[in-house]
């Protein structure tokens, strides 16, 4: 028997109709509960997050008057700049696409262009991203998300990171100190706790030996039932707490780990894996800013391989070490650099003598000039997702993709449009 | 407007319309049209001697979303040949993309189309990962796609059930999640078990209680099946039953069917759920028991999840069972995740070996199921890509089903105890072309409510595969002469010649929008400051899916 149900607006465009929705793009926490204010410098309503304020301040007020593109320092219109950039891309035999601060639409367009140019692609945070990827490729991992962490974690261990230094809203997002939070303890292993700590949560510090790798090696052994002689008593006590916790989360941050951190990360994953034999535990990585998670994910789904891969019709070559930007530039292995930083105008390309194509917000123009980086460079102003363009970004924890919204309009092209313009030109001439 | 095409003189195998015979097929503006015999056309394709079917539809294939992308990330070895890069097709139309068991989305679209498939559906989209899933599927070229959202392990549904919420509230909640995530169906994975694992429960049978929410999988199954019935979704509840992979799990599987209380249900990858524990190894086939139950229960359909030998990777929402099986992984590494109070995820690489008794028996159980279920309209050909095998092994699987001597030859290669004992050697049935067309086209289209797909009647979408017949069915189904997607030739002689963007199927259930307040109230604790199930609007869906067509499906609400 048929029945008429109360209906939704299912036949119209049924998007979230809240007009005040805003997702902050300035770190991978992608906070959704406050809004920007179009003052000079831009402010925030509902938060005083220093990272978001700094991100907004760096972009500056709405700017529609300055040149939108420069070719070797001289103002140019978009078409001229794209023509010049396409000429340079054609001439480069082995380009590096670096920075990669863009959203998913940008990453999709980037892949098409990279395939056309035979480019190697690496994010500005590629070093830690690559170390984390190698740890996963070797042994795997068990991870959790913000919602799980907030509703389930009874013990949080911050491994080598104070947590909030780069992610000011982290404790609030984790619900720490709220009456219903299940979290009763924070432990800082090998890092000093930040000054501002949540109330009502016990905080401990395990100083460790100063060698995080050695400390994690001990911890991984200590959570195994086998005994370890001569262990650091503080680490032994931490192991006991982890084994007794119904749901412990090991929080780590790629940016604060020592170099060659893949083994450190692997030991952290091994500790979690051992804990999961008898109780519940997971890891939670801090990172993925400037679109890093989204570009990594997009390249992986399109091609099958993550970043630090050379993309060309002759094959996909994934080299997590030798395809690092620094190594390629230092070794003279590339002859041109396409650099993208659409969130952060201060994140400039590495100083090299190579020719550049640079995509960044309008405020980058002055930063490039100040750094003397306008020679042999095509610079194109692009929109910032979450400021003057809509888009999609991956949140810090990995599985969650959120829309970001434009709240001002300066008529700037998005990264995807610029890169597609370049790919169209290359395809037309081939 | 594209030119009218006549595909002339092929053997049209279209069981939806009861056709198996020589006929011409007309194509105009993306649709099948009736043409007068001498009506002039823009292009005439001589299909004399060929077999003409609708485009293949894979209703359960992990083609896009968090899990399969983690599998790609975990297995760089799947995307190279030793130290050399994987070989790519010499085809300027194809963007670089590779992988066998976890191919990139681009390779996924190209390889499916090359076999004559024109649609594939992601069966395990977690609500929090919905945008990601749609983005990935949007980057699968050529194929139409859609996804089933996972429910029944989300804390809110379990809480509502625990609190004794009325069926209308559960119905509205399910409707809201389908609407918000732009799903075309609902899947339940190990009902309650993924959530229970978060509370350190390691096992949950159909009538066991969730350690925290104190409800049983039986209650979850009944409530979800009823909600979908009332919402009127075309696809019934898609069920990954309890106790996947455990010897003796046939009892749980039969109990799962009973728990539906007469509502429709689709049990997926049943090969993994049809195990007895007889014999010296305490592991035996229960295919016959399951087939008898399916034959006797017209409200139930299945897909098989056939395993085939070689390297693959298992990607599942069933964290509880994947954690338990991770020790059997090869290579020995795995990824697990607890997801956003909604779901879970476990990715374990696996190599099925002919000389393993367990693997060989799994192979035989799958084939037994294909051959013992009477009604081909209620059984769908799948390998649960990539869990049983990559989708690229479908032509091989089709040959196993159509060719008894070939099947016997393969059986003889396996672990000798399986070869000796399996009922498979005594099953003489060989599926006909018409039955293959049902298992790979007609049945999945019907089970998904795709009225104009999976068939070649006038007015249907012109998704067409033209196969050259061969004694070897594997060769025949590997390289079609022509494949059309919405009337556009996309494959010629097994080679991709166009890469249009596929469309996105999604259901449009009605529900009381007041449910959103309930959702906000109940999720406050674990998701404060974060809008739950932020609705994916149609414009946003279109952007995620690369501008492909939106294919909304009406729902037909029913009273329980």
Q: What is the pLDDT of residue A114?
A: 98
Are B178 and B509 in contact by the 8 Å Cβ rule? The answer is yes
| ipTM given for this complex | 0.97
Kindly determine whether residue B72 and residue A304, on different chains, have CB atoms separated by under 8 Å. yes
Helix (H), strand (E) at residue B277: none
Q: Tell which wins on pLDDT, A8 or B530.
A: B530
Kindly determine whether residue B198 and residue A403, on different chains, have CB atoms separated by under 8 Å. no
* Candidates B66, B98, B526, B540, partner chain A, best to mutate (most A CBs within 10 A): B526
Are B508 and B178 in contact by the 8 Å Cβ rule? The answer is no
CA distances, B109 to each of A397, B384, B416 (Å): 28, 16, 38
Statement: residue A15 has pLDDT above 70: no
Question: Strands, E, within B256-411: which ranges?
Answer: 265-267, 275-276, 284-285, 300-303, 310-316, 334-339, 343-352, 379-380
DSSP B449-478: T-TTSS--STTSB--EEEE---SSHHHHHH
- What average pLDDT does range A323-337 have in this prediction? 97
Kindly determine whether residue B340 and residue A147, on different chains, have CB atoms separated by under 8 Å. yes
- Residue B140: closest C-alpha in chain A: A302
Distance from CA of B507 to the nearest CA of A (A): 10
Statement: residue A18 has pLDDT above 70: no
Are B263 and B225 in contact by the 8 Å Cβ rule? The answer is yes
Surface of B (412-441) touching A: CB under 8 A: none
pLDDT digits (tens, 9 = 90+) for B7-52: 999 999 999 999 999 999 999 999 999 999 899 999 999 999 999 9
Statement: residue A7 has pLDDT above 50: no
> Is B92's Cβ below 8 Å from some Cβ in A?
yes
Least confident of A136-140, B478-482, B518-522: B518-522
Secondary structure in 3-state letters for B48-63: CCCEEEECEEECCCCC
Sort out which chain B residues have CB atoms less than 8 A from A398's CB and list them. Answer: 66, 337
For residue A30, what pLDDT band results from cuts at 50, 70 and 90? Answer: very high
Contacts of B430 (CB under 8 A, 6+ apart): B401, B402, B403, B404
Are A307 and A296 in contact by the 8 Å Cβ rule? The answer is yes
- What average pLDDT does range A235-252 have in this prediction? 97
Kindly determine whether residue A401 and residue B531, on different chains, have CB atoms separated by under 8 Å. no
Statement: residue A8 has pLDDT above 60: no
Q: What is the pLDDT of residue B525?
A: 66
> Is A146's Cβ below 8 Å from some Cβ in B?
yes
> Is A426's Cβ below 8 Å from some Cβ in B?
no
Q: What is the pLDDT of residue A10?
A: 45
* Candidates A299, A304, A322, partner chain B, best to mutate (most B CBs within 10 A): A304
| Minimal Cβ distance to A315: which of B85, B323, B339 | B85
pTM above 0.95, yes or no: yes
For residue A1, what pLDDT band results from cuts at 50, 70 and 90? Answer: very low
Surface of A (261-290) touching B: CB under 8 A: 276, 279-280, 282
Sort out which chain B residues have CB atoms less than 8 A from A400's CB and list them. Answer: 128-129, 132, 340
Distance from CA of A141 to the nearest CA of B (A): 5
- What average pLDDT does range A42-64 have in this prediction? 93
């Amino acid at each position: 028997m048929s029945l008429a149900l109360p209906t939704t607006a299912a036949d119209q465009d049924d998007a979230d109709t809240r007009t005040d929705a805003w997702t902050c793009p300035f770190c991978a926490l992608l906070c959704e509960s406050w809004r920007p204010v179009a003052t000079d410098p831009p402010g925030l309503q509902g938060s005083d997050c220093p990272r978001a304020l700094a991100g907004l301040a760096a972009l500056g007020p709405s700017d529609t008057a300055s040149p939108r593109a420069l070719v070797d320092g001289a103002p140019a219109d978009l078409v001229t700049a794209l023509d010049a950039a396409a000429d340079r891309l054609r001439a480069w035999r082995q380009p590096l696409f670096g920075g990669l601060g863009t959203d998913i639409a940008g990453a999709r367009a980037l892949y098409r262009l990279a395939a056309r140019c035979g480019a190697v692609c690496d994010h500005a945070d590629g070093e830690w991203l690559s170390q984390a990827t190698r740890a996963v490729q070797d042994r795997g991992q068990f991870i959790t998300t913000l919602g799980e962490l907030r509703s389930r974690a009874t013990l949080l261990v911050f491994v080598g990171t104070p947590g909030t230094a780069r992610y000011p809203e982290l404790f609030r997002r984790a619900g720490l100190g709220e009456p219903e939070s299940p979290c009763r303890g924070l432990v800082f292993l090998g890092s000093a706790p930040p000054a501002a700590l949540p109330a009502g949560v016990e905080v401990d510090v395990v100083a460790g030996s100063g060698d995080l790798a050695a400390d994690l090696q001990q911890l991984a052994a200590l959570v195994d039932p086998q005994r370890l002689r001569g262990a650091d008593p503080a680490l032994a006590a931490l192991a006991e707490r982890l084994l007794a916790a119904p749901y412990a989360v090991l929080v780590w941050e790629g940016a604060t780990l020592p170099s060659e951190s893949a083994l450190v990360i692997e030991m952290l994953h091994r500790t979690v894996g051992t804990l999961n034999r008898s109780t519940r535990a997971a890891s939670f990585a801090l990172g993925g800013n400037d679109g890093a998670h989204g570009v990594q994910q997009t390249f992986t789904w399109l091609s099958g391989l993550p970043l630090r891969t050379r993309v060309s019709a002759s094959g996909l070559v994934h080299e997590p070490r030798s395809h690092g930007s620094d190594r390629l530039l230092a070794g003279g292995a590339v002859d041109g650099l396409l650099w993208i930083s659409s969130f952060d105008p201060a994140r400039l390309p590495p100083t090299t003598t190579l020719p550049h194509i640079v995509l960044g917000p309008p405020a980058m123009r002055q930063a490039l000039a100040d750094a003397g980086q306008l020679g042999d460079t095509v610079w194109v102003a692009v929109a910032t997702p979450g400021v003057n363009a809509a888009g999609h970004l991956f949140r810090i924890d990995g599985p969650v993709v959120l829309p970001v919204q434009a709240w001002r309009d300066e008529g700037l092209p998005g990264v995807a449009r610029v890169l597609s313009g370049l790919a169209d030109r290359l395809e037309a001439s081939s | 407007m594209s030119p009218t095409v006549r595909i002339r003189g092929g053997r049209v195998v279209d069981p939806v319309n009861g056709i198996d015979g020589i006929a011409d097929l007309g194509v105009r503006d993306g649709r099948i049209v009736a043409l007068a015999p001498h009506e002039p056309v823009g292009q005439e394709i001589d299909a004399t001697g060929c077999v003409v079917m609708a485009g293949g539809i894979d209703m359960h294939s992990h083609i896009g979303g968090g899990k399969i992308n983690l599998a790609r990330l975990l297995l760089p070895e799947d995307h190279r040949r030793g130290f050399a890069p994987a070989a790519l097709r010499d085809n300027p139309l194809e963007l670089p993309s590779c992988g066998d068991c976890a191919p990139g989305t681009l390779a996924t679209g190209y390889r499916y189309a090359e076999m004559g498939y024109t649609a594939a559906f992601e069966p395990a989209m977690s609500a929090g990962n919905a945008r990601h899933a749609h983005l990935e599927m949007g980057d699968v070229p050529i194929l139409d796609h859609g996804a089933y959202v996972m429910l029944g392990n989300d804390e809110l549904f379990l809480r509502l059930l625990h609190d004794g919420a009325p069926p209308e509230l559960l119905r509205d909640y399910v409707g809201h999640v389908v609407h918000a995530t732009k799903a075309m169906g609902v899947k339940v994975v190990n009902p309650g078990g993924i959530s229970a694992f978060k509370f350190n429960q390691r096992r949950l049978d159909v009538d066991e209680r969730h350690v925290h929410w104190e409800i049983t999988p039986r209650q979850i199954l009944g409530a979800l099946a009823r909600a979908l019935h009332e919402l009127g979704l075309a696809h019934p509840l898609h069920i990954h039953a309890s106790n996947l992979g455990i010897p003796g799990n046939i009892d749980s599987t039969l109990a799962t069917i009973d728990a539906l209380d007469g509502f429709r249900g689709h049990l997926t990858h049943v090969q993994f759920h049809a195990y007895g524990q007889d014999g010296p190894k305490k592991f035996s086939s229960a295919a016959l028991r399951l087939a008898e139950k399916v034959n006797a229960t017209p409200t139930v359909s299945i897909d098989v999840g056939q395993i085939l030998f070689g390297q693959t990777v298992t990607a599942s929402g069933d964290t509880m069972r994947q954690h338990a099986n991770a020790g059997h992984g090869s290579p020995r590494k795995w990824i697990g995740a607890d997801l956003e109070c909604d779901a879970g995820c476990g990715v374990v690489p696996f190599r099925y070996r002919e000389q393993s008794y367990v693997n060989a028996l799994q192979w035989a159980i799958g084939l037994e199921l294909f051959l013992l279920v009477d009604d081909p309209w209620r059984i769908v050909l799948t390998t649960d890509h990539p869990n049983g095998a990559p989708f690229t092994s479908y032509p091989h699987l089709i040959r196993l089903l159509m060719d008894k001597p070939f099947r016997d030859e393969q059986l003889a290669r396996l672990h000798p105890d399986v070869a000796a004992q399996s009922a498979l050697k005594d099953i003489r049935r060989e599926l006909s072309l018409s039955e293959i067309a049902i298992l790979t086209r007609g049945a999945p289209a019907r089970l998904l409510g795709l009225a104009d797909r999976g068939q070649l009647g006038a007015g249907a979408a012109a998704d067409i595969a033209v196969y050259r017949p061969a004694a070897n069915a594997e060769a025949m189904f590997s390289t079609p002469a022509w494949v059309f997607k919405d009337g556009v030739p996309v494959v010629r002689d097994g080679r991709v010649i166009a890469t249009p963007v596929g469309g996105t199927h999604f259901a449009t259930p009605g529900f009381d929008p007041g449910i959103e307040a309930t959702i906000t109230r109940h999720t406050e604790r674990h998701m404060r400051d974060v809008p739950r199930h932020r609705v994916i609007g149609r414009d946003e869906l279109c952007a995620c899916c690369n501008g492909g067509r939106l294919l909304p499906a009406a729902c037909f609400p029913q009273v329980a």
